[in-house]
Structure 1
Amino acid sequence: MKKIAYALGALLGLISTTAGAWGNHTLAAYRALEAMPEVANAAPVTVETLESFLKAEEKTIEALLASHEAWAAANLQSYPPRPSKLAFVANPNRSDEARRLAFTHALRIAPNSRFALFIQPDPKLNASPAPRLASETVTTLPMLGNASQKFQPIKVGDTVAPLVVAASAADEPDYGLDINLFEDSPSEWGKMYGFGTLPFGNPLLVYGSQAPFHMGFMHENQVLYTAAPFIKRTFPQLRVYQYSTLASLAFRTGHPYWGWRFTGLALHYIQDLTQPYHASLSPGDSTLKLLAVNAMAMAGLSGMKNDMVTLLSNRHLALEKYQSEVLLNSALAKQDTPIDQALRQTDKDASYPEWHDLYLRNVVAAQAASYGNRIAQTLVDSIPPGFVSDPNYDFGANEERVTLVKELVNVPTEAKLRLDALVAELLANFGAHSRNAVRGILKASNR
């Protein structure tokens, strides 16, 4: 079993360096939430700093963060307890900086997380916001040259629409909050957080170490869990619970700006798990194939394993890039495509259970994992083979030079329609689960 686990670990470490899910979450979040009266019609909220919220509610935050440990121990598989020294303890005499640091330590997120006061304006309404806010003010991570994120500063005392706050924050966990949190990470905080070594991903790659917080392989065959139990060490459920309960606390205590901001943070992880390549180890591949490929790699024949890893990464990135291009193009053109409409489609919301603590695992991840065969086959049939069927091509290395919308112009119409229909279906799930989570947070807030 150790040999199989080692081989699976090598495979997983390569697959999971692709930590993106839906590109810029803000674009899709605007479309998903603008159809929800509880968000779209909510009164504007007054901007305040994180430090102001923490200082005002220090005792209630202490109690809430303490309760997180009991919940996580009871509900999460392979949960590593938070070291007791990291508990958030109220202390009115400390500085704002010290209180903020204690908060990030208690959540076990990167203490250099910006938590800047910013928004991403909806490009459908404002394609070129001014003034601009430099990306390094908002994120600790580098951004691609063709990134769609456009940041605008806001300041204490401004009033902002809840839709804007939540949609902007829905992309924020990709700005460095979950980077270098493991003991083998090149950071001081990773060595004290208690998460152990990085279960998969590459700690040397800038985004690699966030993968276990943004992916969740919760519905694999038991054989894989037995052979490689480390694939259970994923933490999106933890993040959703932390941020959703913080959102409810902020609403209840009169801090609606941070209520909506934490809501957006929680939504990010839910939305990530609607992506089949984040909810399944190897969409379209059977457990038998995975074990066979790893057996060959163990025997020194690693070619098939390397090819599988490359193709999985390429298909993951191609799906994300195509969806992102379609949404951004429609927003800039002030158009309303079937994919935009799917995000706003509310008639499926009530077909799912009411939001509960294990909704992410039992509903979102289970549904996404079920798309494995269909998503793999659709991508192969619909996207030019050089991008998704050639193991000698590295999509990630060439991503900035690829415009998939243009590349698909010559694809047979039927194949293109199947791809668009599947993307629309996946984003309808994205929208429905996002709205159900918001309803759950608001209900817990007595709003």
Structure 2
Amino acid sequence: MDRDNGPKTDGWKSVYGNEAITDGSSKPEEPANAGDAGQPDRAGAGEAAAATEPAVWTHGGTDASANRTGSRYGNGGGEGSGESGRQAIYGAAAKRKPRVLLWSFCIALGLVLAVVLGTLLYVWNGLRPVSASEKPVRVTIDKGMRASKVSKLLEDNGLIRNSFLFGVWMKLQDEGSKFQAGVYELTPGMTREQIVAKLNSGDIVAAASVRFTIPEGFTVQQIADRLAKTANVNKESFLQTAADRAKWTGSAWAGQIPADVNLRYPLEGYLFPDTYEVRNGSSEAEIINRLLAELDRKLDQLPEDWQTTLQERGMTVHQMLTIASLVEREVVVDEERAIVSGVIQNRLAKTMPLQIDATIQYLLDKPKEKLSTDDLKVQSPYNTYLNPGLPPGPIATPSLKSIEAALYPAKTDYLYYVTKKDGSNTHLFAVTYAQHQKNIKLSEKNVKK
């Protein structure tokens, strides 16, 4: 019987790999006494074991268990070799850890830089000017408009890219609180600094306006007719507004108009005659207050002592304007305004009826060239033929010259005057009624033909 009890190979197989060893190594020689006499059973048993158990020999001739340990940790041998293998693995892991941390740091840093650069790019793009254009854009800034609404308005009109960023930038620059109300003309492509400077400057576009003139001596009724034709004003609405005291905000003096007096038009005499230019579409209240404000400006042009003079004479502004309106309607030549004012105030001092035709004409729908006897009897507090003293209020809009004449009348003894009929628009004055009758006859003789 063959000793191997199996197929023969050219070499021994590895315990784990079961691969033949082909480097020429051979099975170790058997002991010299393996075939000695007296030990046949042991030799036979050895041969049987060799035939049934797998080969555990390795090239190094080491024990199989030792070889398994060595193979697992990359080193041959027993316990010492295993410990060395574990130390080698831990050393390699320790070497890899710094590299992992470095890579993690680089990735985190890259993400932060990406966020920062992205944010900067977003801000830069949101605040840079829009594409330039030669076509201007008009925007209206309302009074008291918040900066955030202004930003949104600019973005909606294509003048800025990002209203949020523009608003933040304005807040950081402490801008937005000085914007002036009005219509502005801005051009796409302007920088944010240029836009803010424009809105702060109040350099608004002149809105479409209407121009009208209120002649001296006009009544409120005539003013309403004039504005209905020249300023697109509703006549009835104008007259209603002129009677509504709650809407008189343009003049400090309008608040002194008596409320307990039967005035035909409360604002009569307070709407100063002048040439005005107002925004097209202005309301009746806006126009009325514009005229009232002009009265205040004109009164400020009087001598500084005018209010003191008025108090010394025991007169109110309302009475002054009433006398001034009588002078305005009675006089054409400037040099006679103070004289006629003196006559009026002389008659008032003597409690004589003023008997001024202009107060009767004020009550008529249409002025008359010559008043009739019946006209002089019309029942009205404005009729100075029937009622002593001044009428309840002005009968027209007086000029500044007539106001000055009412404030500073000429000191004379005249109590009467009559208009010359020669076309000169001047008067003949008299102290007594007899002289006055002579002047009337003299005026009739000089009628212009």
TM-score, normalised to structure 2, is 0.20
Structure that is richer in strand per residue: 2
Larger Rg: 2
Structure that is richer in helix per residue: 1
